[in-house]
């Protein structure tokens, strides 16, 4: 059954970065390591660019899951940081849920490792409590395509919207006229082909600049 198109809203969205930890990152095989890290950092950058509330959480850091990606700590030094002592489903941690509720927002943009556990469990729990949930497909990773596709199907069937980071950025931005350079820089920083596009565009503009306007 089709559902209404509810777009991401800058004033309603909050970003949840779940368990992007050194040990867990080593399990990701549905993306190349450099590609996956780039995608995760793209989500972090778009969260910062759009000034979205961002919540970081880890699971059992002292065990084999390991520490959070240092780039995320550096990007959000003042963000809520929930180091869960053992809960596998972050939603089972009251501090994590309290941090979400404190934002007063109802749209959750979730990315994490691994997809079928750290992302899916939170997404399904949030859906059950009435939140709109958007799972960032290319900033969430797991063992293989079979595990990933099963997780996507499970979430999608429950009403979670699957979207990549590029889609998140564009849906939040809505209109190029809002800030052409800002969005273009965000995209170019994480998509080499987009940087080529902007370089070409810049050269074209320079070649066709009205000399009378100088």
| Residues assigned a catalytic role | 118
Enumerate residues 6+ apart whose C-beta is below 8 A from 83: 57, 58, 61
Read off the tokens for 138.
């290319």
Q: d(Cα 171, Cα 9) in Å, to the nearest integer? A: 8
Read off the tokens for 184.
């273009």
Give the H or E element holding residue 91.
none
Q: Which residues pair with 112 in a beta bridge?
A: 18
Q: Which residues pair with 13 in a beta bridge?
A: 107
Please give the C-alpha separations between residue 48 and each of 37, 103, 179, in angstroms, as whole numbers. Answer: 17, 16, 15
| Closest C-alpha among 3, 21, 11, 42 to residue 174 | 11
Residues in the chain: 214
DSSP for residue 143: S
């Amino acid at each position: 059954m089709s559902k209404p198109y509810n777009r991401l809203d800058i004033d309603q969205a909050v970003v949840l970065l779940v368990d992007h930890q050194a040990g867990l990152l080593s399990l990701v095989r549905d993306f190349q390591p450099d590609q996956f890290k780039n995608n995760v950092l793209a989500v972090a950058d778009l969260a910062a660019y759009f000034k979205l509330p961002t919540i970081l959480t880890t699971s059992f850091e002292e065990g084999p899951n390991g520490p959070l990606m240092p780039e995320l700590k550096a990007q959000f030094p003042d963000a809520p940081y929930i180091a869960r002592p053992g809960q596998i489903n972050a939603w089972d941690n009251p501090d994590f849920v309290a941090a979400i509720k404190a934002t007063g927002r109802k749209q959750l943009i979730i990315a994490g490792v691994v997809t079928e556990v750290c992302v899916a469990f939170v997404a399904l729990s949030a859906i059950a409590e009435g939140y709109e949930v958007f799972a960032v497909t290319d900033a969430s990773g797991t063992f293989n395509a079979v595990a990933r596709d099963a997780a996507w199907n499970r979430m999608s069937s429950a009403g979670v919207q699957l979207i990549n980071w590029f889609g998140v950025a564009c849906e939040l931005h809505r209109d190029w006229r809002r800030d052409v350079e800002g969005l273009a820089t965000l995209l170019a920083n994480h998509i080499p082909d987009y940087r080529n596009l902007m370089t070409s565009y810049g050269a074209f503009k320079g070649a066709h600049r009205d000399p009378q306007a100088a």
